[in-house]
Structures are given as structure tokens and as C-alpha cells.
Amino acid sequence: MTLTSYFMEATYLVASILFIFALKGMSHPETARRGMFLAEGGMFAAIVGTLIGAHIVTWVWIIAGLAVGSILGAWMAIWVPMTAMPQRTALSHAFGALAAALVGIGEFVVHGQEMSAVTRGALGFEIMLGSLTTTGSLIAAGKLQGIIYGKPVQFRGQNIVNLGTFLVMVGCAAFFWMHPDASTVFYSMLGVAFVFGVLLVIPIGSADMPVVMSLLNSYAGLASAATGFVLGNNVLIIAGTLDGFSGFILSVLMCKAMNRSITNVLFGGFGAVVAESAAQTGGVMREITLDDAAMQLAFASRVVFVPGYGLATAQAQHAVRELAELLEGRGVTVKYAIHPVAGRMPGHMNVLLAEANVPYSSLYEMEQINPEFPSTDVAVVIGANDVVNPDARDNPKSLIAGMPILEVDRAKSVIVLKRGQGRGFSGLENPLFFKTCTSMLYGDAKSSLSHLAQAVQHV
Amino acid sequence: MIPAVLIASVYVFALAAFLGYQVISRVPPLLHTPLMSATNAISGISLIGSLVLAGAKGYPLPAHILGFVAVTTATINVVGGFGLTDRMLKMFKSRTAKKEEAK
């Protein structure tokens, strides 16, 4: 080994340690930013180390790639609105996975003949995970952006087709493992993996996106880790594994928050089933006027806001903060209740409310806020549906039976802000809307909230 | 890959998985979106593999071109990921920090 190679390895070690410190910093909002600076330093060191130590001779492609990537990356970092965070994250899973897959193809092109069996095995994983994550994430991003129809796409025998595709993909990988010179099989594996990624995500409905996002995150990370095995590079293994496990932990948390298993999310096609098993609640939804709602809020002593995906679509995060500040000015205690799967990705609501300048000490997790609902005067549900559906708790026949919910129906009164009388994404009837303590305020969440704020000022 | 290297790599993988589990299970749900964005940026470290592919000695042109695309997408993740994570984390403020800002 030459001196420059030692230097390169040293930068990799430093980068690995700094990455772990960065994630440790993430345990608290106060330390998170400092942690990220460490990670950025680690990344920079590793890049410089590579450029010095890896016997680079052709600079033109590198400079072009770094320049184009930096411009696009910076553009994304600056311009992407917080409401578009789920689709941008899905897109970045796709980019990360694509990079891993391409490095794998490149390794095959350059060293294909002289690879050991172990390396070929790792390469198979890298290519499969990398390619299926690329197309799967692109589909997810398309659904979130609304370019692709968000409802689950299903057809007869879908699970059999998916299983068949999966087996063909794994079969190709196994054949390639045994026959290193079978480049046709290698490229077939690549193609089938791309197709499998699409098949995997199209049957999944928008409401299940938090799980899918976390899973894709996990796959993208594991693809990077597999790249590390192929290249014999430890910092890639470490960073990829951290990413992979982070995604895995998040998937488990999201599944728990919906009381479903990962297999059920992937193969269940939730939301396409019309909820006939749900109890026919019937009854009338009681509408409330703006002035009455404002009156209720203004004279309450404890108010809890419950945001859902509707808050994001209506971009109502600033409007809700303005209303909350007016109420606080009148001496009302205001809290926000955040369900783990509210929105389209883990932590979606927290980011939106933080953007609107809501202090994080006002944001409460489900376990913290649930005991407080009985002493809450008004719970305001903004574009949330399934996460406040009491059927999950009360009706064992319901499709979402057993899913932990925010128990807003225990509050003294509930105001539901909703676009129209229709059902939510899951297509389930929500008995909360028919309760006597509940009143409905129809209309776009953003304008409803700002009108409420005006009305509260005049009380 | 010789067996000794493979075994060392498996050690690294297992330890990283364990450490990752320990560290990440302490991240509060409040920060789950920035966490996802941050781990994404960190796994953009596959950039270093792409750099080698794009420019190393003795590699054929197709490898350089694959490397170029990989460098581009990985750089988008590194720059965009770190940039966005920081932009998000800047927004998370405690009540006291907010009051000081208002003064």
C-alpha cells in the first residue's frame, strides 16, 4: 500500500466515526444540527481522500458529475417546499439506489471475469436491491406528486405475478452466481429487478406510504452496504448499514402505528377493498358555522389540534399556527397531537408545523396526548381521518381494528375540518363524524382556519 | 475477496447494524423526517465508489460513463440531502429560542 492509500483509508475511518456521531446527535433537536455538520465534514474528508488515494487519472467525468450533481442537489435543497418533502425523499431513495446499481454494473463491466464467488453474491444483492428500489421509489414519488394515480392499482392474480417476477429475479442472481461469464443473465436480472420494483409499489395506496417510504429507505441503504461488500470498502458498509437499519426501524414503527405487518402492507392492497365489513354507522353529520366554531374555540381553556395529510395538501400549516397564537393570546392552552402515521412519511406533520414556526414543545406524541383528551374542551381535526377513527378501537370487524388512534372522541367537543362529506383515503366510514359531540366545518382547511382566526379576533 | 477480508467485512456489518439500532432507536418521532433525509445523505457515500468508476486508471469508457451518472445522482443526494436536512433542522425551535428571536 502506498502512503496515499493509507491516507484514504484514514479518511474513511474518520468519516465512519463522524457519521455515527451525527446520528447520535439526532436524538435531540438541540444537538441535531451540530451532528449534521460533523457528518458533512466526514463526507468531505472521504471524498478528498478518495480523489487523492484512488489513482484517479480521468478527471473530466468526475468534475462533470460533481458539478451537475451539486447544482441539482443545491437547487433541490433550496427550492423544494416542505409540503413536497415526501416525494423529494422518495426521489432521493431512487437516486441513492441508482448510484449503487450503476456502480455494480460498472464493477461487472470492469472486473466481471475475475470476481470471487463471495463478491458475485454481494453484487447480485447490490444489483437487485439497487434496481428495484430505483423504480419502486420513482413510482412512489410519482404517486406522492400526483403524476401517477395514487389509489392502489390491482389486478387478478397480482400476487402470483409478483411472486413469479421475484423468483425469476432471484433465479437470475443464483445462475449468475454460479456462472460468472453469463452476462445475458446478469443484464436480465437487472431488467427484471427494475420491473419488480414497479410491481411492488403500484398496488400500494397513498395511506400506506409512510411504511413504503421507510422500506425503500431501508433497501437503498442495504444496496449501498452491498456495494461496500463488492468493493471491499468498510465506510460504505457502515454508512449503508446505518441507513438500512434506520429505514428498517422506521418501517417497524410505522407498521406498529397501523397495527399491520409489513407483508400485509406489501401484499394486502389496503384501501382497494371496499369496507363492507365496517359497521353501518348512519346518523347525521352536524354542520357548524364559522362563528359558532370560533366562539367555542375562543371560550375554551384547552384546545388540541390534530393535523393529518389534509393539512399538507391544503398547505394550512401557517394558518393553523396563526389561529393557535390568537387563542394562546386569549389564555387558551393549545397543543398539537401527532399520530405516527399522519401524513405521507414518518415525521411529516412535525416538519410542516416546525416550518410554520410552531415550537416543538407544543407537539405531542400519541401516548402523551391521549390521556389528556378527556380534559380537552375542543379537539380540532384538520384533514385527518383514519388516525382518529374510533372504529379502530371499538369495532373488531373494522379493517383498521386494533390500530392505535388519537382518542379525540373522548374530548368534550370535536370540530372536524374537512373538504367535503366523502370518505378518507382508506374508504372507511368514520363514526367520529356522527357523534353528538362532533361538528363538521366543511371547506378548504387553509381558508377555514384563516376565517376562524378572523372570527376569533371579533369575539 | 479472500475469506479473511470477508469475515472482517461481516464483522463491520454486524457491528454497524447493532450500533445503528442503538443510536437510531433513540431518535424521537419529532425528527423522523430529518432522520430519513440525513441517513439518505450519509448513504450518498456510495459517491466514493462512483468516483473510482468514473475516473480510475485502466477502466473502459462505458465504466466511466456509468460512473459519471452514478457520481451525479450520488452528489445530488449528498448536497441535496445535507442541505435539506439542515434547512429542516433549523426550523425546529424550542419555545424559549422562539421568544429570544422575537426580541
The verdict on residue B62 lying in a domain is yes
CA–CA dist A286, A284 (Å, integer): 6
What are A308-324's pLDDT values in tens digits? 998 998 999 999 999 99
Paired sense of beta strands A413-418 and A333-338, if any: unpaired
CB contact under 8 A, B53 and A103: yes
Same domain, A99 and A229: yes
Q: How far is A65 from chain B (nearest CA, A)?
A: 4
Instruction: Give the SS3 label for residue B5.
Output: helix
Q: Which position has the grid cell 448513504? A: B43
CB contact under 8 A, A69 and B76: yes
Among candidate residues A79, A103, A125, the one where a domain is terminated: A79
Same domain, A139 and A52: no
Tell me whether A46 touches chain B (CB under 8 Å). Answer: yes
Range in A188-197, A380-389, A393-402, B25-34 with the lowest mean pLDDT: A393-402
In eight-state DSSP terms, residue A442 is E
The verdict on residue B13 lying in a domain is no
The verdict on residue B94 lying in a domain is yes
Alpha helices, DSSP H only, in A278-430? 290-298, 309-313, 317-329, 348-355, 366-369, 391-394
- Longest Cα–Cα distance of chain A, Å, equals 79
CB contact under 8 A, A340 and B29: yes
Same domain, A257 and A347: no
Output Rg (C-alpha) for chain B, integer angstroms.
19
The verdict on residue A283 lying in a domain is no
Contact B42, A235 (CB under 8 A): no
Residue A306 lies in domain: 290-458
The verdict on residue A431 lying in a domain is yes
> Is residue A248 scored above 60 in pLDDT?
yes
CB contact under 8 A, A232 and B1: yes
- Whats the size of chain B, residue-wise? 103
The verdict on residue B85 lying in a domain is yes
Instruction: Give the SS3 label for residue B28.
Output: coil
CB contact under 8 A, B39 and A246: yes
CA–CA dist B35, B84 (Å, integer): 11
Same domain, A318 and A429: yes
pLDDT for position A276: 43
Instruction: Give the SS3 label for residue A416.
Output: strand
Same domain, A99 and A75: no
Residue B39 lies in domain: 31-102
Q: How far is B10 from chain A (nearest CA, A)?
A: 9
Same domain, A55 and A96: no
**Number of structural domains found in chain A:** 3
Same domain, A107 and A50: no
Cβ-based burial of B57 (10 A; exposed 0-12, middle 13-18, buried ≥19): exposed
Active site residues of A: 386
Same domain, A31 and A120: no
What are A174-193's pLDDT values in tens digits? 999 998 888 899 999 999 99
Q: Which position has the grid cell 469508457? A: B61
Residue B47 has which C-alpha cell?
459517491
Same domain, A64 and A206: no
Instruction: Report the complex ipTM.
Output: 0.94
The verdict on residue A350 lying in a domain is yes
CATH code for position A295: 3.40.50.1220
pTM of the predicted protein model: 0.90
Residue A369 has which C-alpha cell?
396526548
Question: Which H or E run contains A216?
Answer: helix A209-231
In what side-by-side order are the strands of the sheet with A378-382? A363-365, A333-338, A302-307, A378-382, A413-418, A438-442
The verdict on residue A280 lying in a domain is no
Q: How far is A78 from chain B (nearest CA, A)?
A: 7
- The closest alpha carbon to B17, from A254, A35, A121, A248, belongs to A248
What are B64-76's pLDDT values in tens digits? 999 999 999 999 9
The verdict on residue A152 lying in a domain is yes
CA–CA dist A5, A145 (Å, integer): 44
Interface of A with B in 211-250 (CB under 8 A): 213-214, 217, 220-221, 224-225, 227-229, 231-247, 249-250
Same domain, A390 and A429: yes
Same domain, A126 and A202: yes
Instruction: Give the SS3 label for residue A302.
Output: strand
pLDDT for position A279: 47
Range in A26-30, A246-250, A269-273, A400-404 with the lowest mean pLDDT: A269-273
Cα A6 to the center of its chain, rounded Å: 39
Interface of A with B in 292-311 (CB under 8 A): none
The verdict on residue B2 lying in a domain is no
**Number of structural domains found in chain B:** 1
CA–CA dist B74, B81 (Å, integer): 10
